[in-house]
Amino acid sequence: MLKSALSKLGMGKHPVIAHASLRAFGSVSAEAMLGALLESTRGIIMPSFTYKTMLNPNVGPPQNGISYGSQTDLNKMAEPFHPDMPVDPTMGVLPEVLRKHPKAKRSLHPIQSFAGINADAIINSQTIYEPFAPIAALAEQDGWVLLLGVDHRVNTSIHYGEKLAGRLQFIRWALTHDKVVECPGFPGDSEGFNAITPDVEKYTRRVEVNGALVQAVHLKSLLNAVVEKIHNNPFALLCGRSDCERCEAVRYG
């Protein structure tokens, strides 16, 4: 049923970046979902981020959306990045199943890696200085965003749109096997991202599977919409929480 629904979206000639909630689909397994995605697209990538590598220093640059020295205990539990490090559980089950697939390739960013199948050139585009380069490469290949039972609050591509619009990006630090690495281009908060929904309505295709909504959004059109929205309103897509350090840094930085 999932494969049939995905085929209706017309992604067979396009690479995609996918975000999924398995719980929204009931008894569908991660393996079955990945298989349906591979059969319905030209290639797939997913974020395979590893937040357990991150360190919080005692001092750092100003306006960086972080309280320095506030996570001493977490620093003690930080683990050095390695290519086989599991995807952070907050990313969901599917990215880890994708990462472990025998045909998968993973980039080597110590915090914001991507994993993919039939998307080697896209994955290889990432550097420590350009963590969202895979999204740029995907857009150039006429890629799409697939949201399976989730909404835009997990849509990583919007972060790249923010960067294109000139929005403040942050610096974070990660532990590797031999040193601490500075990682520029770390994004802001995503809780306000559903505000982009009406702006991309005409670029969105939808199907329903067992009551779960699957949305396909044309990536390049999404990026253009994000840039236009932020240029029209510099505070667009920010969350409303006064305790959100990253959104507050954008507002008052």
Residues 6+ apart with CB under 8 A from 190: 152, 153, 154, 155, 158, 159, 239
- CA 96, CA 93: separation in Å to the nearest integer? 6
Per-residue model confidence (pLDDT) at position 71: 82
Identify the H or E element spanning 222.
helix 219-232
Angle at 75 (CA atoms; ends 69, 78), nearest 5 degrees: 155
Average pLDDT of the residues in 60-85: 93
Which of 170, 183, 175 lies closest to 67, judged by CA?
170
**Percent of the chain at pLDDT exceeding 90:** 94
In degrees and rounded to multiples of 5, residue 26 shows phi and psi of: 70, -115
Instruction: Read off the pLDDT of residues 15-62 as tens digits, 9 standing for 90 and up.
Output: 999 999 999 998 899 999 999 999 999 999 999 999 999 999 999 999
75-86: average pLDDT:
96
Q: Of the ranges 79-83, 158-162, 188-192, 206-210, which one carries the lowest mean pLDDT score?
A: 206-210
Q: Dihedral, CA atoms, 54, 56, 62, 65, nearest 10 degrees?
A: 60
Count CA atoms within 13 Å of residue 207 on its CB side: 17
| Tokens (6 digits) for 201 | 């309505």
CA distance 225 to 187: 18
123 neighbors 105 (Cβ within 8 angstroms): yes
pLDDT at 249 over 80: yes
Which residue type sits at 72?
A: T
pLDDT at residue number 2: 87
Of the candidate ranges 36-50, 67-81, 112-126, 143-157, the one whose mean pLDDT is the lowest: 67-81
- Overall domain count for the chain: 1
Report the pLDDT averaged over residues 178-197: 98
Confidence at residue 253, expressed as pLDDT on a 0 to 100 scale:
76
pLDDT on residue 210? 84
> Which of 157, 123, 143 has its CA nearest to residue 15?
143
Query: Residue 204: is its pLDDT beyond 80?
Result: yes
Q: Are 34 and 26 in contact (CB under 8 A)?
A: no
Q: Is the pTM of this model over 0.85?
A: yes
- The contacts of residue 206 (CB under 8 Å, 6+ apart) are 213, 214, 215, 216
Mean pLDDT of the chain: 96
Range of the domain at 6: 2-252
Q: Grade residue 74 by pLDDT with cuts at 50, 70 and 90.
A: confident
Residue 149's pLDDT is 97
pLDDT category, 110, cuts 50, 70, 90?
very high
What pLDDT is attached to residue 12? 95
